[in-house]
């Protein structure tokens, strides 16, 4: 992500926030270069998304689960655009698509009767799964969105179909293992 700040953003943030943001960016390394995870239905090109999004916040207001946040001035030209953190606050992948329908610009859109493209991808580390430790657990399969059904049980082990994964983060959030057997792909 571009980290250019306008003069207005710089003064709105204050020097301390700018310094903290720069230090955080340095610590995050490659992670910070990756564009933010956008809500379902986002235009596939980050540049196109940034050019189309009106930064109105209507998608965040419409989300019934309050998982969409708007990027701060520290995000430079992406300020005010929506982002998700599915590994912290999962998207519920609801079938009403309130966030998409609230978007006036078309930065979030969906074809009638279709499913939005995945927002991210998740990896399963079976060695961390409780089932490999002899514990009967299938919690992840119950939380995987019905429209995706990316997680199924095969015998006593969960299987992740990466092609069906939406990246919503529900499996990460509800995994009973510590640390979670699921994580967002890098």
Q: Which of the four CATH numbers 3.40.50, 1.10.1060, 3.30.70, 2.60.120 does domain 122-184 have?
A: 3.30.70
Q: Which residue, 80, 76, 79, 75, is CA-closest to 59?
A: 80
Query: Tens digits of per-residue pLDDT, 96-153?
Result: 999 999 999 999 999 888 889 999 999 999 999 999 999 999 999 999 999 889 999 9
pLDDT digits (tens, 9 = 90+) for 120-129: 999 999 999 9
Which residue ranges make up each domain of the chain? Answer: 7-102, 122-184
């Amino acid at each position: 992500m571009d980290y250019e700040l306008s003069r207005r953003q710089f003064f709105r943030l204050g020097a301390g926030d700018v310094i903290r943001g720069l230090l955080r960016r340095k610590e995050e390394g490659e992670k910070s270069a990756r564009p933010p995870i956008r809500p379902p239905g986002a235009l596939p090109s980050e540049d196109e998304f940034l050019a189309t999004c009106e930064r109105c916040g209507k998608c965040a207001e419409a989300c019934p689960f309050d998982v969409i946040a708007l990027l701060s001035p520290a995000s430079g030209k992406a300020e005010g655009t929506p982002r998700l953190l599915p590994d912290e606050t999962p998207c519920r992948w609801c079938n009403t698509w309130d966030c998409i329908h609230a978007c006036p610009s078309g930065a979030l859109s969906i074809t009638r009767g279709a499913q939005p493209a995945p927002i991210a991808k998740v990896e399963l580390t079976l060695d961390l799964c409780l089932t490999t430790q002899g514990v009967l657990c299938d919690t992840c399969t119950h939380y995987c969105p019905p429209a995706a059904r990316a997680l199924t049980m095969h015998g006593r082990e969960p299987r992740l179909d990466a092609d069906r994964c939406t990246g919503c983060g529900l499996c990460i959030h509800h995994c009973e293992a510590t640390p979670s057997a699921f994580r967002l792909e890098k």
